[in-house]
């Protein structure tokens, strides 16, 4: 039997007892050392425990639950249906998580399929019939296929509820209630991930997990040194033109957040009049259009992405230089998620918020939440 090559980068990962194919893939994709959340979550997951993960985006949580899942599926026997189910709140996150499953599992013969709206149903059914080990899904399309008898969940051994605090709407609650009878009699090992853990989220966690190991990873601190935060007082009707002028002065990759789909489209029209290339992202666009917009922005072929909060969390978008809040978010947590799209991986960035008279209280709430007074600036003084 040939000797397994040494895996220089994965000393920490090797200590968890991960199998050589996963260690080799971690080496290949450049995962040098486990993150804090991976160090805390992987051992109990490999031991078969349920885990409750409280962590912000960018902590490495996806790999934390995917690596043990891949190892367990690889060691288990194939089944006529999926053995792992990962539920995501949006199609974009489902596609992104599926990509991580495929990337980290490239040396294993496991099949990952995405089940979500916005993609032809027949096309998804064909991929399932070709064989499936891992389903990454949004709950609407999943429930449709399960209730029609076109997808069976009785072989599940591993269940992940990702971004669970975003899955608390009434539709999801109804879907979970409807799906439960289709789960196996022996409850699957369950991973429950949430950026925050208010009481409604904890109530859901108690419903779906059994004696979970709790993994708390403090949110990465965002300091004024990393993100230059500024606020401007701007009348509501003047905001789109103000955003356009700011973007003309600040080259680089920028994200503009608006609260509604209507405002996203309005902002994009104004940018086109200024000859600023931009893509839009919101729930009314087709899945193909949303994927194309993200790809063009990630590749740097379009410098500006105008979006609702659909892109504030979870999506892997690197090297964003500037975040502009054209509309203030409804919660301080949303503000943190939005501006967290910049200054990632130790880089610097800027976040500018345009505030009208109705939004001043939002600013005060945000300042209390982050423990930092955001400097008020004029348009001419934003770069100071």
Residue 261 is assigned to a structural domain of this protein: yes
Shared-domain flag, residues 13 and 76: yes
More confident position, 20 or 119: 20
Shared-domain flag, residues 127 and 180: yes
pLDDT at 9 over 80: no
Residue 266 is assigned to a structural domain of this protein: yes
> Band of the pLDDT at 380, cuts 50, 70, 90?
confident
Residue 221 is assigned to a structural domain of this protein: no
Shared-domain flag, residues 211 and 233: no
pLDDT at 202 over 50: yes
Q: What percent of the chain has pLDDT over 70?
A: 93
More confident position, 244 or 382: 244
Residue 169 is assigned to a structural domain of this protein: yes
Where is average pLDDT lowest: 52-61, 188-197, 225-234? 52-61
Determine the pLDDT at residue 200.
84
Shared-domain flag, residues 144 and 264: no
Determine the pLDDT at residue 58.
61
Single out the residue in 216, 242, 262 at which a domain terminates: 216
Q: What percent of the chain has pLDDT over 90?
A: 57
Single out the residue in 195, 216, 237 at which a domain terminates: 216
Residue 1: count other Cβ atoms within 10 Å of its Cβ: 3
Determine the pLDDT at residue 231.
94
Determine the pLDDT at residue 57.
61
Radius of gyration from C-alpha coordinates of the chain: 22
Shared-domain flag, residues 182 and 56: yes
Single out the residue in 160, 183, 216 at which a domain terminates: 216
Shared-domain flag, residues 234 and 212: no
Determine the pLDDT at residue 4.
33
CATH number for the domain spanning 118: value is: 3.40.50.300
Shared-domain flag, residues 235 and 281: yes
Shared-domain flag, residues 69 and 178: yes
Average pLDDT over residues 280-298: 89
Determine the pLDDT at residue 99.
93
Residue 264: CA atoms inside 13 Å, Cβ hemisphere, count? 22
> Band of the pLDDT at 332, cuts 50, 70, 90?
confident
Total number of domains constituting the chain: 2
- In 3D space, the residue among 97, 103, 88, 99 whose CA is nearest the CA of residue 140 turns out to be 88
Residue 222 is assigned to a structural domain of this protein: no
The mean pLDDT value of the chain amounts to 88
CB 359 within 8 A of CB 236: no
- Between the alpha carbon of residue 354 and those of residues 232, 241, 317, the distances in Å are 5, 11, 23
Shared-domain flag, residues 196 and 236: no
More confident position, 347 or 126: 126
Shared-domain flag, residues 45 and 69: yes
Shared-domain flag, residues 13 and 43: yes
Determine the pLDDT at residue 26.
93
Write out pLDDT tens, residues 122-177.
999 999 988 999 999 999 999 999 999 999 999 999 999 998 888 877 788 888 88
Average pLDDT over residues 245-267: 94
Which residues are within 8 A (CB) of 170 and not within 5 positions of it... i.e. 6 or more apart? Answer: none
Residue 3 is assigned to a structural domain of this protein: no
> Band of the pLDDT at 6, cuts 50, 70, 90?
very low
User: Phi then psi for 244, rounded to 5 degrees?
Assistant: -60, -45
pTM of the model: 0.68
Q: Which two tokens stand for residue 333?
A: 């947590």
Residue 66 is assigned to a structural domain of this protein: yes
Shared-domain flag, residues 304 and 376: yes
Determine the pLDDT at residue 218.
61
pLDDT at 2 over 90: no
Range of the domain at 163: 8-216
């Amino acid at each position: 039997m040939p000797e397994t090559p040494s895996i220089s980068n994965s000393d920490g990962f090797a200590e968890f007892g991960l199998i050589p194919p996963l260690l080799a893939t971690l080496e290949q994709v450049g995962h040098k050392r486990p993150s804090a959340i991976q160090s805390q979550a992987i051992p109990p997951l490999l031991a078969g425990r349920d885990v409750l993960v409280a962590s912000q985006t960018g902590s490495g949580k996806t790999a934390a639950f995917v690596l043990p899942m891949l190892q367990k599926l690889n060691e288990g026997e194939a089944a006529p249906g999926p053995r792992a189910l990962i539920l995501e709140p949006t199609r974009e996150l489902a596609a992104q998580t599926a990509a991580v499953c495929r990337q980290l599992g490239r040396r294993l013969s496991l099949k990952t399929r995405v089940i979500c709206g916005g993609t032809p149903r027949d096309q998804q059914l064909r991929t399932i019939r070709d064989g499936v080990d891992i389903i990454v899904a949004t709950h609407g399309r999943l429930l449709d296929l399960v209730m029609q008898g076109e997808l069976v969940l009785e072989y599940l051994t591993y269940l992940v509820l990702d971004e669970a605090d975003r899955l608390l709407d009434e539709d999801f609650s109804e879907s979970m209630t409807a799906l439960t009878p289709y789960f196996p009699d022996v409850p699957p090992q369950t991973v429950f991930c949430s950026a925050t853990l208010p009481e409604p989220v904890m109530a859901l966690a108690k419903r779906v997990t059994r004696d979970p190991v709790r993994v708390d990873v403090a949110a990465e601190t965002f300091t004024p040194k990393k993100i230059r935060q500024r606020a401007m007082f701007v009348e509501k009707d003047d905001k789109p033109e103000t955003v356009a002028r700011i973007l003309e002065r600040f080259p680089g990759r920028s994200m503009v957040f608006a609260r509604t789909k209507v405002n996203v489209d309005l902002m994009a029209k104004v940018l086109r009049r200024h000859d600023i290339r931009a893509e839009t992202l919101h729930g009314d666009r087709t899945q193909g259009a949303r994927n194309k917009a993200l790809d063009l922005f990630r590749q740097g072929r379009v410098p500006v992405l105008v979006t609702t909060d659909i892109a504030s969390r979870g999506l892997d978008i690197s090297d964003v230089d500037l975040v502009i809040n054209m509309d203030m978010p409804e919660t301080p947590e949303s503000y943190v998620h939005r501006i967290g799209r910049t200054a990632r991986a130790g880089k610097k960035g800027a976040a500018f918020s345009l505030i009208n008279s109705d939004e001043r209280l939002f600013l005060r709430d945000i300042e209390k939440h982050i423990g930092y007074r955001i400097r008020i600036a004029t348009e001419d003084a934003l770069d100071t």
